[in-house]
Structure 1
């Protein structure tokens, strides 16, 4: 199982106040770090014929979706992440589950916009909660790379944060993006559904299906649905012991609450158009 190594400073070595929001949440035990929760991930996977497919996952994070993908018995599973810690996490997960041995597995430490994979090597590419964190140029580059590595007719499934309603005034969108960047410590740039569709269309995809739900990542009902009672209890205990982390999490929750009428979790299934 190839796993390339590159120099890297782990996110956890940085001060709490400057760590990315996803790693802050992971540090207290949160496993589902997607804007639309497990609900949206389950919807995406239900739209894909994973059994026997060549599957590439971009930015697998803690490996939560990787488990679901491998349980569907694809022919191959390839994880790509530019974060070495995430690569090591997923590689460890794969090694510790021998029942997935029927699937050829690889983990590569590479950029999502320059994967080094061959043209047309995948039937399905999936990426969750990573395009949102990219600027316009990087979004286009990552979409173009997904298009390149997919076979004709292949599918690119994305799970991202969306702005709502579709005609949201630009001044409100700008204010939301600015505030998200301040509290998440990542330059989050969510788009409206028409804007996501436009980016995908320009990259050579057709939107075949889409799904939206509330962006309630840190609300009690979503926490229970995503993490279960034991997971929530673990998070609460960890937050009680880590006041600096607790302040970051509360600031994120306050921002999501403030803008809840304008934020959504979104799933889209994109199909590579024929030339």
Structure 2
């Protein structure tokens, strides 16, 4: 039986906060945006295609957010799906978007300490969440994915990357600082070689990668991700909410200012068989 769809913005995480202070991704969600990944639905589809999820897979998703990727995963008919979401409101929202099934669950938990059994997954996936953490927390989350996976299992990530790969540290810090100031969440993006090193450092072997422009707030991407009606809904809500509009304009200004230095990236890493 299909799950009920909730459309109430008051059900969303951070809905009780002032628009001037709430995290940018939840502000966009409140305005009606449902795809909150840096590479959009296109890069998520490419990630899922490369992961080749099928009926023999047990999938764990870190930070499923609004459940968009979770629904795409379930279309591929895995044997089991578990979403691990640290925010109770987000967990409840996602659970309402998914079919009621003994093989589908969303739990409250931390991505670096899920309390799920060793080797209980064949696929672990996380999108747009590692970029928000310190380097040590990134490492702990990647290590948790490694622990959860059986030998041969795959870990897929979809994150924000900085380019070029040899960007000076001070320039990278400038970009992170500007992003953090408008998103109101600490942002610590990495160049590709550092994303690879992170995964390899906890024991993985990177087996696939892909890129997309970071066009989260460009009109064409909005229509691609949200559909025409979804994009119009977002535009209408922006017109009606001056405080939110000022925040979104500030975010877009920073994204555009650094458009040549921001990219979306996916990587797939595999756990060895020995």
TM-score (norm 2): 0.93
* Structure 1 equivalent of residue 32 of structure 2: 29
* Structure 1 equivalent of residue 219 of structure 2: 220
Gaps of 5+ in 1: 1-8
Report 1:16-165 matches (<5 A).
16-52=19-55, 53-94=57-98, 97=99, 101=101, 104-165=103-164
Q: Tell me the CA shift for residue 274 of structure 1.
A: 3.9
Report the Cα distance in structure 1 between the residues aligned to 2:131 and 2:273, rounded to whole angstroms.
26
Equivalent pair of 2:83/2:107 in contact (CA under 8 Å): yes
Report the Cα distance in structure 1 between the residues aligned to 2:13 and 2:80, rounded to whole angstroms.
28
* Structure 2 equivalent of residue 208 of structure 1: 207
* Structure 2 equivalent of residue 242 of structure 1: 241
Equivalent pair of 2:204/2:272 in contact (CA under 8 Å): yes
Residue deviations 1:58-78 (CA, integer Å, cap 9, x gap): 100000001100111100000
Q: List, as ranges, runs of 4+ consecutive aligned residues in structure 1 with deviation greater than 6 Å.
A: none
Report 1:260-271 matches (<5 A).
260-271=259-270
> Aligned residues, how many?
262
Report the Cα distance in structure 1 between the residues aligned to 2:34 and 2:13, rounded to whole angstroms.
18
The DSSP-based 3-state class of the residue aligned with 2:165 is: coil
Report the Cα distance in structure 2 between the residues aligned to 1:226 and 1:125, rounded to whole angstroms.
23
Report the Cα distance in structure 2 between the residues aligned to 1:207 and 1:44, rounded to whole angstroms.
13
Gaps of 5+ in 2: 1-11
Compute the RMSD of aligned alpha carbons: 1.2
The DSSP-based 3-state class of the residue aligned with 2:20 is: helix
Equivalent pair of 2:131/2:160 in contact (CA under 8 Å): yes
TM-score (norm 1): 0.93
Residue deviations 1:224-251 (CA, integer Å, cap 9, x gap): 1111110100001111111101111111
Q: Tell me the CA shift for residue 10 of structure 1.
A: 4.6
Report the Cα distance in structure 2 between the residues aligned to 1:51 and 1:273, rounded to whole angstroms.
20
Report the Cα distance in structure 1 between the residues aligned to 2:233 and 2:17, rounded to whole angstroms.
23
Report the Cα distance in structure 1 between the residues aligned to 2:244 and 2:160, rounded to whole angstroms.
23
Residue deviations 1:132-179 (CA, integer Å, cap 9, x gap): 000011000000000000001100000000000101111110100010
Equivalent pair of 2:13/2:26 in contact (CA under 8 Å): no
